[in-house]
Structure formats: structure tokens, C-alpha cells
Amino acid sequence: MADFTIVPLFERPEYRDEVAQHLWRQWGKNDGQTLAQRLEFINRNSQDPSLSPDWQNFIALDGDGQAGAKWLGTASFVQQDPPCPAPYAPFLGSVYTPEQARHRGIGRALVARVEAFARSQAVKTLRLWTPDKAHFYAKMGWQEIDSFEKDGETETIMCKDL
């Protein structure tokens, strides 16, 4: 049995600041984004899916996820994720677990939760793009289909039929 729980971020808004900080450090800071911009982005895209089905963030929390549980990671369902070309939407995005939470199956569980949400939205094929984790996704049945250049780095585009 897993020693963590996955929930939609909109159900646990007290974790929005922490999610924004981690994602900003991982990706936003190097793209010229401010922490305030990342937090605004997280707040805007962490709504009840009946209000905002185009973007859903999920978080992993330690244990049963009760109040005060430690945040362990995040992943998102995204209808469009620039700068990747639009024909490759919808996406699995922002999959992140901090170093100390890795190798516990959290990333795999977060990916599976986003896949389940995508299926509930009648998505037939989900895609992602990654500069360096194609091997991680390939182990879960994702296939490389294309690539593009972003800031001098090759991004691998992958897909999975749901």
C-alpha cells in the first residue's frame, strides 16, 4: 500500500504556494518568470474541474493527506502547454517530485492520476514533452513521437493512448 495520497490541488489550496515555489525553481526561474507570476498561474489553474476542466493540478501528500501532511510532488493535465506545438495537446505537464521524495513511486502514481483524469475528459491520446526524462515515461508505456528545440535544448515529445 502506498504511503502517500494523491488529491486535486483545488481541494487543498493551502499547498498552492509550495507547489508554485517548486515549479518556479524547476522551470519558471530560468524562463524569466517571477515567483509571483508562477503563483498567479497556479491559482488560476487550480480550480474545480467543473469550472476549469482545461487545466488540473494534482499533488501527492505524505500518508493519508490529512492537515499538515508533507507535500511530495505534483503533476498536471493541460489542454495547451506552450511552447510545444498546438497539434500535440492535450498534455501531461509539470511532473515534479523533490529529490528527497523520489524512488517511492510518487511520480508514477501522479502520472497515472493525470492519465485517469484525462480519460474522464474523453481524451484518447495524452502527450508530454521532456528534455531529459523520456526513459522514465517509456517505462510506463509512453512512446517518442517527435521533438522540438527550446532554448537550445531538444525536447522529446511523447504520447500514450488511453
**Amino acid 37: pLDDT:** 83
Higher pLDDT, 127 or 67: 127
Mean pLDDT of all residues in 37-42: 81
Q: Say how far apart CA 131 and CA 129 lie, in whole Å.
A: 7
Rounded to the nearest integer, the mean pLDDT of the chain is 87
How far is it between the farthest Cα atoms of the chain? 43
Q: Say how far apart CA 162 and CA 124 lie, in whole Å.
A: 5
What secondary structure, in 3-state letters, does 49-118 show?
CCCCCCEEEEEEEECCCCCCCCEEEEEEEECCCCCCCHHHCCEEEEEECCHHHCCCCHHHHHHHHHHHHH
Q: Per residue in 54-69, pLDDT tens?
A: 788 999 999 988 888 9
Tell whether the model's pLDDT for residue 110 goes beyond 70.
yes
Q: 0.95 exceeded by the pTM?
A: no
Crossing angle for the helix pair 16-23 and 35-44, nearest 10 degrees? 130
The CATH superfamily assigned to 4-161 is: Gcn5-related N-acetyltransferase (GNAT) (3.40.630.30)
Q: Where in the chain are the domains? A: 4-161
**Amino acid 89: pLDDT:** 79
Q: Per residue in 69-90, pLDDT tens?
A: 999 999 999 886 555 556 777 9
**Amino acid 1: pLDDT:** 58
Q: Say how far apart CA 17 and CA 9 lie, in whole Å.
A: 11
Q: What sign does the CA torsion over 75, 40, 49, 84 have?
A: negative
**Amino acid 6: pLDDT:** 97
- Cell readout for 6 is 494523491
Q: Per residue in 135-150, pLDDT tens?
A: 999 999 999 998 888 7
Higher pLDDT, 101 or 52: 101
